[in-house]
């Protein structure tokens, strides 16, 4: 229901902050939208009928049906099995992320009645899994919106976890026949996409904003759907930051291998045609590839781990500083006898790669905004391009003359 992982820190400081509790039914206080980068692995394209889970052919997470005034409703299991954990591992590693979805519609947990709560989530399966595994022993209806297989937070920014889709699902599933109350419990991180007052005007259902994390839902429901401040707090500790690392590495792997391979081929041809000994050409080529690889590791792994302690507000500068430190250490350890000019060139390659990968995390922080990210990108990308160009010129020169 809620976020499957809470991602980086505030752009304006290193301490987690508290989002004001949204008013019931009206989106008067809402978290800022995430940048588009947080959804770059999920295209938001319509699900194909042949998708793995989009048509519920793989129904291992379904456990029979429950009767209802509108007909039988599929019941969700509340215990995740090996297939769920394996699927989560794959998508967190960047594989099959665009297809990891379930069919939208109405589901049940336990044996819900007309008085049971209605919990709303996205049809990204990690979001559904995060919700259902916390509902053991609960009786509830689960309304799954068609977000094109995108998680709640990103889908709210895209508009697919939105007012129109929610209204459509409420009416299409005859929800007014299913429950005697008129309340919908929505995840707080979906607030940027839903106008609660419009939902109430068109359906008669009032929107109640639930806690940030699904694990707080049982307590939230026991409190008669009231969330204290700690349920609205978005944290980003080391474990949560580390969750991002595999998918970032997977996302960077293919373009990095293609780009580095192409550039090294050019460098090899250049070196063969030049006056430098072939042994020197090979050594300098490999050092250039190592410099970029160290930068990618620094940006994709070092940045999320060390994020609270890296100086600066802009993620591009955080990554650049970490890349500089990684370049200095690697030169002292790996190639201390290198001439200064080549060392500077390789340092620039490391800095540019680290800065670019670190900037990806601007879309994962809970507190940044699209306008802030765009502002950073306007100066950071040209600067990164300039740095990597200068570094490559110096690298090519070292390959050519030895």
For 22-49, how does the pLDDT look when each residue is reduced to its tens digit (9 = 90+)? 332 222 222 333 333 344 444 444 443 3
Q: Of all residues in the chain, what percent carry a pLDDT higher than 90?
A: 44
Report pLDDT for 160.
Answer: 92
Query: For the chain, what is the mean pLDDT?
Result: 81
**Mean pLDDT, rounded, for 217-231:** 86
Report pLDDT for 3.
Answer: 40
In this structure, what are the phi and psi dihedrals at residue 107, rounded to the nearest 5 degrees? -125, 170
361 vs 71: CA distance, rounded Å: 45
Q: Which carries the bigger pLDDT value, residue 237 or residue 318?
A: 318
Q: Which carries the bigger pLDDT value, residue 144 or residue 51?
A: 144
**Mean pLDDT, rounded, for 266-277:** 76
Residue matched to tokens 């297989």: 149
* Residue 70 pLDDT exceeds 70: yes
Q: What confidence tier does 16 reach under pLDDT thresholds 50, 70, 90?
A: very low
- Across 72-204, where does the E strand assignment appear? 73-76, 105-109, 118-122, 140-145, 183-186
Q: Of all residues in the chain, what percent carry a pLDDT higher than 70?
A: 83
Give the C-alpha distances (Å, rounded to integers) separating 291 from 68, 248, 259, 296, 346: 62, 19, 14, 9, 6
Q: What confidence tier does 367 reach under pLDDT thresholds 50, 70, 90?
A: low
User: Buried (b) or exposed (e) across 264-274, using 16+ Cβ within 10 A?
Assistant: beebeebbeeb
Q: pTM value?
A: 0.73
**Mean pLDDT, rounded, for 216-239:** 84
**Mean pLDDT, rounded, for 123-130:** 94
Report pLDDT for 355.
Answer: 95
Which CATH number is associated with domain 36-234? Answer: 3.40.50.11600
Q: Which carries the bigger pLDDT value, residue 151 or residue 338?
A: 151
Q: What confidence tier does 363 reach under pLDDT thresholds 50, 70, 90?
A: low
The alpha helices in 71-174, defined as continuous H runs, are: 82-92, 125-132, 152-158, 163-172
* Residue 232 pLDDT exceeds 90: no
Report pLDDT for 41.
Answer: 42
356 vs 322: CA distance, rounded Å: 12
Give the C-alpha distances (Å, rounded to integers) separating 208 from 117, 215, 257, 376, 392: 11, 17, 47, 35, 55
188 vs 208: CA distance, rounded Å: 9
54 vs 94: CA distance, rounded Å: 18
Q: What confidence tier does 268 reach under pLDDT thresholds 50, 70, 90?
A: confident
Q: What confidence tier does 365 reach under pLDDT thresholds 50, 70, 90?
A: low
> What are the structural domain ranges in the chain?
36-234, 240-401
Report pLDDT for 61.
Answer: 94
């Amino acid at each position: 229901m809620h976020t499957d992982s809470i991602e980086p820190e505030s752009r304006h400081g290193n301490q987690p902050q508290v989002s004001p509790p949204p008013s019931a039914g009206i989106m008067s206080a809402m978290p800022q939208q995430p940048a588009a980068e947080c959804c770059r692995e999920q295209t938001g394209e319509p699900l194909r009928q042949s998708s793995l889970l989009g048509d519920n052919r793989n129904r291992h997470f379904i456990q029979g049906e429950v009767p209802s005034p509108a007909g039988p409703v599929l019941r969700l299991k509340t215990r995740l099995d090996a297939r769920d954990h394996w699927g989560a591992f794959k998508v967190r590693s960047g594989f099959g992320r665009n297809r990891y979805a379930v069919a939208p519609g109405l589901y049940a947990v336990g044996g819900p009645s007309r008085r049971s709560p209605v919990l709303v989530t996205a049809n990204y399966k990690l979001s559904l899994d995060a919700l259902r595994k916390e509902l053991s022993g609960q009786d509830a209806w689960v309304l799954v919106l068609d977000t094109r297989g995108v998680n709640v937070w990103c889908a709210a920014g895209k508009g697919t976890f939105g007012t129109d889709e929610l209204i459509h699902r409420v009416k299409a599933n005859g929800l007014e026949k299913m429950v005697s109350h008129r309340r919908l419990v929505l995840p707080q991180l979906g607030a940027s996409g839903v106008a609660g007052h419009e939902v109430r005007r068109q359906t008669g259902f009032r929107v109640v904003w639930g806690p940030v994390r699904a694990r707080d839902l049982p307590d939230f429901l026991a409190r008669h759907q009231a969330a204290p401040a700690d349920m609205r707090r978005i944290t980003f500790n080391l474990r949560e930051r580390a969750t991002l690392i595999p998918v970032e590495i997977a996302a960077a792997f293919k373009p990095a291998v293609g780009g580095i391979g192409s550039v090294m081929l050019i460098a090899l041809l250049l070196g063969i045609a030049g006056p430098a000994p072939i042994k020197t050409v090979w050594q300098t080529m490999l050092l250039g590839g190592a410099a970029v690889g160290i930068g990618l590791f620094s940006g994709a792994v070092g940045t999320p781990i060390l994020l609270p302690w890296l100086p600066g507000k802009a993620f591009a500068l955080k990554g650049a500083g970490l890349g500089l430190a990684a370049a200095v250490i690697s030169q002292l350890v790996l190639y201390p006898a290198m001439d200064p000019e080549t060392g500077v060139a390789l340092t620039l390659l490391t800095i540019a790669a680290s800065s670019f990968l670190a900037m990806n995390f601007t879309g994962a922080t809970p507190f940044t905004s699209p306008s802030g990210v765009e502002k950073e990108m306007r100066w950071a990308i040209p600067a990164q391009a300039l740095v990597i160009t200068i570094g490559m010129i110096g690298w090519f020169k070292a390959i050519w003359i030895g």
